[in-house]
Amino acid sequence: MTDKISAEDLQSVARELQIIRNQIQTLSNQINEYSVTLEALSNQDENRSVFRSFGNLLLEVDDRKLLINEINDAKSTIENHLMVLTEKEESIRKRYEDMVQTFEME
């Protein structure tokens, strides 16, 4: 990074930070959705059928435990990605704050 920080540089990093924050919000919403789904599955009587959406089709699930494992795996994957994005967001936020400080001293 050069010593001279322009307003465009600040705007670019601010946009990048906003994009990361939007991605974090989206992933958080997906995690919450998976959690609600898992809770609903755990509260439903095991003798009742469970259905899964495939495109425009709604198909009955044969193996509820497999479905729960798949949902847990997907949730875990998203949680890991969320952790990476959160670390990236922190790094970008710090870079932005440093750039603002440098910009204000110019």
Do 89 and 17 touch, CB atoms closer than 8 A? yes
Tokens 């919000």 found at: 25
| Cβ neighbours of 18 (radius 10 Å) | 11
Do 77 and 30 touch, CB atoms closer than 8 A? no
Interatomic CA distance for residues 85 and 79, integer angstroms:
10
Do 26 and 36 touch, CB atoms closer than 8 A? no
**What is the three-class DSSP state of 1?**
coil
Tokens of 92: 């970008």
Domain ranges of the chain: 62-106
Prediction pTM value: 0.85
Tokens of 68: 């729960």
- pLDDT over 60 at 1, yes or no: no
pLDDT tens for each residue of 58-99: 999 999 999 999 999 999 999 999 999 999 999 999 999 999
pLDDT at 8: 94
The continuous run of DSSP H or E covering 51 comes out as strand 51-54
Do 17 and 93 touch, CB atoms closer than 8 A? yes
